[in-house]
Amino acid sequence: MQSLKVKIYIAGHTGLVGSAVLKELTRKGYKNLVFKSSKELDLKNQKETEVFFKKERPEYVFLCAAKVGGILANSSYPAQFIYENLAIQNNVIHFSYKYGARKLLFLGSSCIYPKLAVQPIKENSLLSGYLEETNKPYAVAKIAGITMCQSYNAQYKTNFISAMPTNLYGPGDRFDAETSHVIPALLLNFHRAKKENKKFAVVWGTGKPRREFLYIEDLAKALVFLMKFYNGPDIINVGTGEDISIKELAYIIKEVVGFKGSIRFDASKPDGTPRKLLDVSNIRSLGWQPEIPLEEGLKKEYRWFLKNYARK
């Protein structure tokens, strides 16, 4: 991506990641960006996807299109999570190869690692143990995508790289009490509790699991950076290298929202994996690091929520 004129396709440009990548590429001055909404192009459909690639022949592909969701969405819709992700990535990776893309970046997730991986999790712990059950169908699809990129590189000499981001958050998140990830779910939950003058708000699980969170604009910068400078066959972690407990997170979000009531933990809801902290020494040694601290990112996301969601 040395020239600003190269043709870049952002698959999934309306999602949390894709929209941030599109914004970052535009900010950097790339002029030949291609994107289609899922209404115009269904990436699960092999024929439609081939017609698109044959016509557009993008040189660089950011594969950010995916079916994603929080812990409950994953366990409620396991079939959709495995089918849709396999179908999308199968089509985009294969046709990127067939129509000559110079490079593709596949987006994985930190849930591809074994549930009890040694922390912080190194890239080479992939496939070294059992997966967390709550998001296994999603994780298996993502592992298939990684293996597909590596296999195409080995057999067809493509340059398809895979980045594994930690839990993401920021403007563009989906706010839904049932299917969101923890940060948007708690922003929404505490916001409602504040409006309704509730005495307490309920947080799922024991509060003990630990998670690492990366602000979406930091991720977008990392992905553009990797597309430019990383060509290795191995997957590469993208995170902050720091984690906090869900309990600590809940108290910070309570402050950010300004909810005055108390917090109750509902241990009947799943905790998921106990800890998920990435070892980010590889991307750091290449020269990338995040810029936005958690509290600042949460404040930005809450402002965005107030503007875009609160009145709906």
Q: What residues are labeled active site? A: 138
Contact residue for ligand GDP among 13, 44, 103, 181 (CB under 6 A): 181
CA 113 to each of CA 108, 121, 137, 200: distance values in angstroms, whole numbers, following the listed order: 10, 8, 13, 35
Q: Which helix (H) or strand (E) holds 10?
A: strand 7-11
Contact residue for ligand GDP among 16, 33, 63, 111 (CB under 6 A): 111
- Distance separating alpha carbons of residues 30 and 224, to the nearest angstrom: 11
Contact residue for ligand GDP among 170, 171, 272, 290 (CB under 6 A): 272
**Closer residue to ligand GDP, CB minimum distance, 58 or 108:** 108
CA atoms within 13 A on the CB side of 22: 20
- The answer to the question of residue 186 lying near ligand GDP (CB under 6 A) is yes
Give least dist CB 179 to ligand GDP, A: 8
- The answer to the question of residue 108 lying near ligand GDP (CB under 6 A) is no
- Span from 29-37, 57-65, 100-108, 182-190 in contact with ligand GDP (CB under 6 A): 182-190
For residue 3, with 0-12 CB atoms within 10 Å meaning exposed, 13-18 middle and 19 or more buried, which class applies?
Answer: exposed
- The answer to the question of residue 257 lying near ligand GDP (CB under 6 A) is no
Contact residue for ligand GDP among 12, 18, 137, 205 (CB under 6 A): 205
- The answer to the question of residue 269 lying near ligand GDP (CB under 6 A) is yes
- The answer to the question of residue 114 lying near ligand GDP (CB under 6 A) is no
Listed as own residue / partner, the contacts of 204-207 with beta carbons closer than 8 Å and 24 or more positions apart are: 204/71, 204/265, 204/266, 204/269, 204/270, 205/246, 205/265, 205/266, 205/267, 205/269, 205/270, 205/271, 205/272, 206/265, 206/267, 206/271, 207/245, 207/246, 207/247, 207/250, 207/265
178 three-state secondary structure: coil
Q: Which residues contact 40 (CB under 8 A, 6 or more apart)?
A: none
- The answer to the question of residue 176 lying near ligand GDP (CB under 6 A) is no
- Distance separating alpha carbons of residues 176 and 263, to the nearest angstrom: 19
Written as six digits, the tokens of 177 are: 């009490």
- The answer to the question of residue 10 lying near ligand GDP (CB under 6 A) is no
- Span from 32-40, 152-160, 203-211, 228-236 in contact with ligand GDP (CB under 6 A): 203-211
- The answer to the question of residue 115 lying near ligand GDP (CB under 6 A) is no
Segment 30 to 69, residues that bind ligand GDP, using CB under 6 A: none
Segment 68 to 97, residues that bind ligand GDP, using CB under 6 A: 70-71
Q: Do the beta carbons of residue 30 and residue 4 sit within 8 Å?
A: yes
- Span from 81-89, 200-208, 251-259, 281-289 in contact with ligand GDP (CB under 6 A): 200-208
Give least dist CB 65 to ligand GDP, A: 19
- Distance separating alpha carbons of residues 83 and 87, to the nearest angstrom: 6
- Span from 11-19, 88-96, 264-272, 286-294 in contact with ligand GDP (CB under 6 A): 264-272
Radius of gyration of the chain (CA): 19
Residue ranges binding ligand GDP (CB under 6 A): 70-71, 111, 135, 167, 180-182, 185-186, 189, 203-205, 209, 211, 246, 269-272
